Structure 1
Amino acid sequence: MSDLYIIRHGIAAERGTYTRDGERPLTEEGRRKTRQVAKRLVELKLQFDLILTSPLVRAQQTAEILQAEGLSARLEVSDYLAPDGSLEAWLAWFNKWQRSHPDAPLAIVGHQPDLGNWAETLVWGQARDGLVLKKAGVIGLTIPGLGQAIANSSLFWLSPPKFLL
Structure 2
Amino acid sequence: MNVYLMRHANAGLRRENPILDAKRALIKEGKDQCMLMARTLSALKVQIDTVVSSPLKRALQTAQFVGTELGFDSKVDTSTALLPNSPYAAFQDLLAKYERDGREGVLVVGHNPSMFQFLGAMITGNGPAAIRMRKASVARVDMENHPPRLQWLIDPRTARLIYESAGKSSRPKTSRK
TM-score range, shorter chain: 0.7 to 0.9
Q: Does 1:81 align with 2:82?
A: yes
Aligned residue number for residue 163 of structure 1: 158
Aligned residue number for residue 10 of structure 1: 9
In 2 relative to 1, CA 91–162 (structure 1 residues): closer, same or farther, beyond 3 Å?
Answer: same
2: distance between equivalents of 1:128 and 1:92?
19
* 1:164, distance to aligned residue in structure 2 (A): 1.8
Instruction: Summarize deviations over 1:107-165 as a string: whole Å, max 9, x none.
Output: 100011211110110111345361110111111111137xx6xxx11011111111223
Instruction: Summarize deviations over 1:43-101 as a string: whole Å, max 9, x none.
Output: 22212111100011100010010122134233211111011113212222322321221
Aligned residue number for residue 153 of structure 1: 148
Contact 1:117–1:127, Cα closer than 8 Å, also in 2: no
- Equivalent position SS for 2:91: helix
2: distance between equivalents of 1:144 and 1:21?
37
Count of residues paired in the alignment: 158
Q: Identify unmatched segments of 5+ residues in structure 2.
A: 161-177
Percent identity, aligned pairs only, is 27
2: distance between equivalents of 1:115 and 1:61?
17
In 2 relative to 1, CA 8–66 (structure 1 residues): closer, same or farther, beyond 3 Å?
Answer: same
Normalising to structure 1: TM-score of the pair? 0.87
2: distance between equivalents of 1:59 and 1:92?
20
Contact 1:33–1:136, Cα closer than 8 Å, also in 2: yes
1: distance between equivalents of 2:117 and 2:79?
18
Q: Does 1:95 align with 2:90?
A: no
Normalising to structure 2: TM-score of the pair? 0.81
Give the greater-gyration-radius structure (CA): 2
Aligned residue number for residue 59 of structure 1: 59
Instruction: Report the AA paired with residue 16 of structure 1.
Output: R
